């Protein structure tokens, strides 16, 4: 068992160490190819996590009241093996990967379809749809684990622009809620 844990740890370190600019292998020509290689490494890590049965999330014991509490609460739901896998994935892929599983679990159990305090807080921030709420939470969590800026304003703008392009008058919807 110690060898397995050691192997997983080595795999994580090897696959997630970022190279300095200019050290990328000559065969790799673009970011898409780099991301593809990263996905293969992360998929291998996830297979090992599943094999040792460390691929589960903890139970929801309390609903966060605001966005910041979401990121803290996720630390209690996500074990260290899964955190390493999340850090390994290219930006934004964690939320896509878990959208219909863990993302749905959060939407349902954190009251994002209803009128929870958390829903109200996220809506006041300008996030209109529960799917968008969970995506922003999960993308922000991934960036937090990686030690990156979560770029919250950028994420809010992305989803608001999406709804505006779909014909939703976002400003009116937000004004009505105030």
pLDDT band at 71 (very low <50, low <70, confident <90, very high): very high
Residue ranges of E strands in the chain: none
Q: What angle do CA 96, 9, 97 make, to 5 degrees?
A: 5
Q: To 10 degrees, what angle do helices 80-88 and 130-145 make? A: 90
* Better pLDDT: 15 or 177: 177
**Residue with more model confidence, 164 or 30:** 164
Whether 133 contacts 112, CB under 8 Å: yes
Rounded to 5°, the CA angle 13-16-21 comes to 120
pLDDT band of 56, cuts 50, 70, 90? low
């Amino acid at each position: 068992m110690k060898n397995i844990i050691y192997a997983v740890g080595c795999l994580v370190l090897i696959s997630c160490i970022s190279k300095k600019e200019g050290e990328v292998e000559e065969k790799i020509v673009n970011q898409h190819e780099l991301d593809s290689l990263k996905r293969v490494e992360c998929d291998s890590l996830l297979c090992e996590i599943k094999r040792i049965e460390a691929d589960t999330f903890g139970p929801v014991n309390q609903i966060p009241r605001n966005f910041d509490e979401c990121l803290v609460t996720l630390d209690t739901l996500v074990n260290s093996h899964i955190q390493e896998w999340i850090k390994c994935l290219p930006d934004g892929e964690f939320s896509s990967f878990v959208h219909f599983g863990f993302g749905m679990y959060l939407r349902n159990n954190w009251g994002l379809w209803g009128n929870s305090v958390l829903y109200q807080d996220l809506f006041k921030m300008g996030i209109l749809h529960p799917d968008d709420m969970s995506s922003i939470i999960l993308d922000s969590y991934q960036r937090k684990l990686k030690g990156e800026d979560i770029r919250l304003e950028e994420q809010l703008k992305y989803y608001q622009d999406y709804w505006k392009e779909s014909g939703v008058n976002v400003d009116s919807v937000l004004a009505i809620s105030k």
